[in-house]
Each structure stands twice: as C-alpha cells, then as structure tokens.
C-alpha cells in the first residue's frame, strides 16, 4: 500500500513537472515569435549589430547603442546626407504622404480658424456652449448644430439643446428670427 502511494505521488510530480515544462516551452515559443516579429522590420547597426526599428521619420538613423549613423534603406554606415544623393532616399514615399497629410490637416485647421475669427468679427457665428467651436447660423434658424462636438444649441440663449420640442416653442426660444 505504501509502495502504491509512492508511485501515485511520483506520477503526480511527473505530471506537474511535465505541465510546467509545456508551459515553459509555450512561453519560449511566444518570446521567439515576438522577437522574430520585431526583427522582421528592424535593421542591424553596421558597427555593433544592435537591432534598430524605425517608426517614422527619415532613413538617416543613429544607433542608440554606439552612436553610428547609418542608412535604414541599405544599412550602410554613413556620415552625412550626401549618401542620399544616390539610390537611397531620405524619406520613403509612405513617410512623405504621412507628412503631407499632417501638414494638410494643420493648414485646414489654420484656415478654419481664420474663417471662424472673421465670422465672429462680423457677428454671423456663435460659439458652441460645449466646445467653443464657431457655429454659423443658417438663414433665420436659431437651431444650431456643432460639427465639432455633435451638440445642438440655441443661437438666442446660447445654451445646449437636448430636446428641440421642449426648447423651441411658445414657452421657450423662437426657432426662427431674423439676424440682428
């Protein structure tokens, strides 16, 4: 009977050890897959072989480990930007497109800001009570809709409107009035 208990105890230990080993193997496999995924886009520094990944920006890279400058496109050690007069480019087309989109968005915000300032100066726009965005009154309609925060508000009392039927009407603000 004691012998049977020892055999059972040993087999339980073996099973636990086997389960730990399987878990360790899976963990190692996950780590290897993660490292492979990281290295798929990474380049090795030509001097110290440290893996360097580029998130965005130009192709002139600086190794954070040894300070070596290198081209991310061809992996050659470089000293300045003269290298990019040949086959390699400073910025990839994807990066140029991303920067262009960013600049267009900034320009759009700047133009919108100037238009809004002009509208406020003329008294044809009203600030949204929620976000402060300029809202243009269309015709004689005092019901305004803010395109920035998707809120409804009133041009007369300049408050947010939850239910139009309760706000505009005999007991509330008039929905249609001439511009002042």
User: Does the structure show a pLDDT above 80 at 152?
Assistant: yes
* Residue 78: partners with Cβ closer than 8 Å, 6 or more residues away: 60, 69, 70, 71
Quote the pLDDT of residue 121: 63
Question: What angle is formed at CA 127 by the lines to CA 123 and CA 170, rounded to 5 degrees?
Answer: 85
Mean pLDDT, residues 136-159: 88
Tell me, yes or no, whether 118 lies in a domain.
no
Q: How many CA atoms lie within 13 A of 22 on its CB side?
A: 6
153: tokens are: 């508000």
Q: Is residue 30 part of a domain?
A: yes
Is pLDDT of 3 > 70? Answer: no
Q: Is 90 exceeded by the pLDDT of residue 123?
A: no
Print the domain residue range for 162: 124-180
* 153 found inside a domain: yes
Is residue 15 one of the residues assigned to a domain?
A: yes
Mean pLDDT value of segment 103-130:
79
58 located within any domain = no
CA dihedral of 24, 29, 34, 37, whole degrees rounded to 10: 170
Residue 149 lies in a domain: yes
pLDDT at 128 over 60: yes
Q: What is the CA radius of gyration of the chain?
A: 33
* Mean pLDDT of all residues belonging to the chain: 83
Say yes or no to pLDDT of 20 above 50.
Answer: yes
145 domain-assigned:
yes
Number of domains in the chain: 2
| Residue 55, domain member (yes or no) | no
When mean pLDDT is compared across 26-35, 54-63, 86-95, 106-115, the lowest value belongs to 106-115
pLDDT for residue 58: 92
């Amino acid at each position: 009977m004691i012998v049977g208990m020892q055999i059972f105890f040993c087999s339980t230990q073996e099973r636990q050890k086997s389960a730990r080993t399987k878990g360790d193997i899976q963990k190692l496999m996950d780590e290897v897959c993660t490292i492979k995924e990281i290295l798929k886009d990474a380049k090795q520094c030509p001097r110290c072989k440290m893996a360097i990944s580029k998130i965005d920006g130009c192709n002139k890279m600086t190794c954070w480990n040894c300070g070596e400058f290198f081209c991310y496109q061809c992996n050659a050690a470089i000293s300045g930007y003269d290298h990019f007069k040949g086959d390699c480019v400073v910025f990839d087309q994807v990066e140029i497109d991303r920067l262009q989109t960013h600049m267009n968005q900034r320009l759009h915000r700047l133009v919108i800001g100037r238009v809004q300032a002009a509208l406020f100066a003329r008294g044809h726009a009203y600030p949204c009570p929620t976000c402060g965005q300029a809202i243009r009154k269309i015709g004689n309609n005092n019901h305004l809709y803010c395109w920035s925060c998707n809120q409804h508000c009133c041009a007369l009392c300049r408050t947010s409107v939850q239910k139009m039927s309760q706000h505009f009407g005999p007991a509330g603000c008039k929905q249609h009035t001439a511009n002042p």
